[in-house]
């Protein structure tokens, strides 16, 4: 039975020596294998993974590799496990850890910085200069679970204590996996200024981060909050999460004019770009007022043309964010704990861990209009279609 030296465990939470884990063998090829349960080091805990949500970036990593970086290169064929939006129960404490207790429910951030580089010392741990240098024999302290170290498509995972966010018992496992998504939206609005009460905000793209962007912006007091997208059902969901106006760009192709009309004929203060569309940045430039701010929260798959002259002439500010930095998950969890918005509205499907390939297909192809798909390591029966 699992009992590494210096690691505190409890008989109330027995831990096996081996676990089930999905491993990325090649592009789009995952296999369910048996791996050793990892061992927490100083300032780390072992989390029993109870639920993990699928993010669009997981789909990119599985298909193409970046932004995952394992042993200095692509993540394929390196016995590596993807998945990063997970929650669970603390079941073992590394040496010296007393900040958390065994049996405590937590959700997790992705990034733990090395704590040594210039960016980490500034609090920008999602921009750690030692990104990717903590896999295999190299140990620079940085971790980005599901990107540079093993992730959550398994039964147990190690996390730095700085990435943990305690959750209340009345928060479901599925809702807890959405704290990271809400935290990403919160980080974007933090970088735009944080205090957005009374400011006008456009969110482009009603995916999970965009929908949470609407919810967080409204919870922060933004007015009006405008959501743009191409699917009416997603836009209607945006209304439930707080959008004052929604614009279907297929029905109203001059989205810039439509945004300005919804904002009383003038440009908005902020745009949170979550669509990754090729023309989205330029449209955002023309949506904001002079001196306005734009946050880029999505990964385009191709180079994007930009009207730089317009940026300079109008003193527009551009911000790129990576993940959920500056402890944004803690602020997002506080909003969710206070019921400032209902994040569960974006959770649509749940699968068993053994059904991960089916769950990924639902997320990728939007089967049954899937938005946020969650995988659970226990308590969910395997679907017959996956078994066949």
Delimit the domains of the chain by residue range: 18-110+145-166+342-387, 181-320
148-179: per-residue pLDDT in tens?
999 999 999 999 999 999 999 999 999 999 99
* Percentage, residues of the chain above pLDDT 70: 98
pLDDT at 387: 39
User: How confident is the model over 209-244, as pLDDT tens digits?
Assistant: 999 999 999 999 999 999 999 999 999 999 999 999
Identify the CATH number of the domain defined by range 181-320. Answer: 3.40.50.720
pTM, whole model, 2 decimals?
0.93
Arithmetic mean of pLDDT, 292-305: 91
2 pLDDT more than 70:
yes
Per residue in 96-139, pLDDT tens?
999 999 999 999 999 999 999 999 999 999 999 998 888 776 78
Per the structure block, which two tokens stand in for 91?
Answer: 């079941």
Count Cβ atoms within 10 A of the Cβ of residue 200 and give its class: 0-12 exposed, 13-18 middle, 19 or more buried. buried
pLDDT at 209: 96
Mean of per-residue pLDDT scores for the chain: 94
Bigger pLDDT: 201 vs 325:
201
Looking at residue 141, what is its pLDDT? Answer: 83
Q: Three-class SS string for the chain?
A: CCCCCCCECCCCCCCCCEEEEEEEEECCEEEEEEEECCCCCCCEEEEEEEEEECCHHHHHHHHHCCCCCECCECCCCCCCCCCCEEEEEEEEECCCCCCCCCCCEEEECCEECCCCCHHHHCCCHHHCCCCCCCCCCCCCCCEEECCCECCCCECEEEEEHHHEEECCCCCCHHHHHCHHHHHHHHHHHHHCCCCCCCCCEEEECCCHHHHHHHHHHHHCCCCCEEEEECCHHHHHHHHHCCCCEEEECCCCCCHHHHHHHHCCCCCEEEEEECCCCCCHHHHHHHHEEEEEEEEECCCCCCCCCCCHHHHHHCCCEEEECCCCCCCHHHHHHHHHHCCCCCHHHHEEEEEEHHHHHHHHHHHHHCHHHCCEEEEECCCCCCCHHHHC
Mean pLDDT over residues 341-362, rounded?
A: 97
pLDDT of amino acid 388:
39
pLDDT of residue 386: 43
pLDDT tens figures, 37-81: 999 999 999 999 999 999 999 999 999 999 999 988 999 999 999
Cα–Cα distances (Å) from 307 to 234, 291, 304, 316, in that order, read 29, 15, 10, 11
What homologous superfamily does CATH list for 18-110+145-166+342-387?
Answer: Medium-chain alcohol dehydrogenases, catalytic domain (3.90.180.10)
Quick: pLDDT tens for 15-38: 999 999 999 999 999 999 999 999
Per-residue pLDDT band for 194 (boundaries 50, 70, 90) equals: confident
């Amino acid at each position: 039975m699992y009992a590494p030296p210096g690691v505190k465990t409890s008989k109330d939470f027995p831990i096996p020596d081996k676990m089930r884990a999905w491993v990325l063998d090649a592009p789009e090829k995952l296999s369910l294998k048996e791996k050793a349960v990892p061992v927490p080091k100083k300032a780390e805990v072992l989390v029993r993974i109870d639920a993990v949500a699928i993010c669009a970036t997981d789909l990119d990593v599985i298909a193409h590799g970046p932004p995952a970086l394992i042993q200095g290169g692509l993540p394929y064929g390196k016995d590596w496990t993807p998945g990063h939006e997970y929650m669970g129960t603390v079941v073992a404490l590394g040496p010296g850890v007393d900040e958390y207790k065994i049996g405590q429910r937590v959700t997790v951030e992705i990034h733990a910085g090395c704590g040594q580089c210039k960016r980490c010392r500034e609090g920008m741990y999602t921009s750690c200069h030692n990104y990717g240098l903590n896999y295999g024999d190299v140990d620079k302290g940085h971790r980005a679970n599901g990107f540079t170290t093993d992730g959550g498509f398994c039964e147990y995972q190690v996390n730095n204590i700085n990435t943990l966010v305690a959750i209340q018992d009345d928060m479901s496992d599925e809702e807890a996996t959405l704290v990271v998504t809400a935290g990403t939206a919160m980080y974007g609005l933090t970088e735009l200024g944080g205090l957005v009460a009374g400011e006008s905000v456009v969110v482009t793209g009603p995916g999970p981060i965009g929908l949470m962007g609407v919810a967080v912006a409204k919870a922060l007091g933004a007015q009006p909050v405008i959501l743009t997208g191409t699917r009416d059902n997603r836009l209607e969901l945006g209304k439930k999460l707080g959008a004052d106006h929604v614009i279907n760009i297929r029905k109203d192709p001059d989205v810039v004019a439509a945004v300005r009309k919804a904002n009383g004929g003038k440009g908005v203060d902020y745009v949170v770009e979550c669509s990754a569309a090729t023309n989205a940045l330029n449209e955002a430039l023309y949506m904001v007022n002079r001196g306005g701010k734009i946050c880029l929260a999505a990964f385009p798959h191709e180079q994007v043309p930009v009207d730089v002259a317009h940026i300079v002439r109008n003193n527009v500010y551009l911000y790129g964010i990576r993940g959920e930095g500056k402890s944004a998950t803690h602020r997002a969890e506080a909003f969710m704990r206070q019921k400032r918005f209902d994040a569960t509205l974006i959770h649509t499907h749940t699968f068993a861990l053994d059904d991960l390939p089916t769950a990924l297909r639902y997320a990728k192809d939007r089967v049954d209009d899937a938005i946020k798909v969650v995988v659970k390591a226990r308590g969910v029966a395997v679907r017959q279609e996956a078994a066949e």
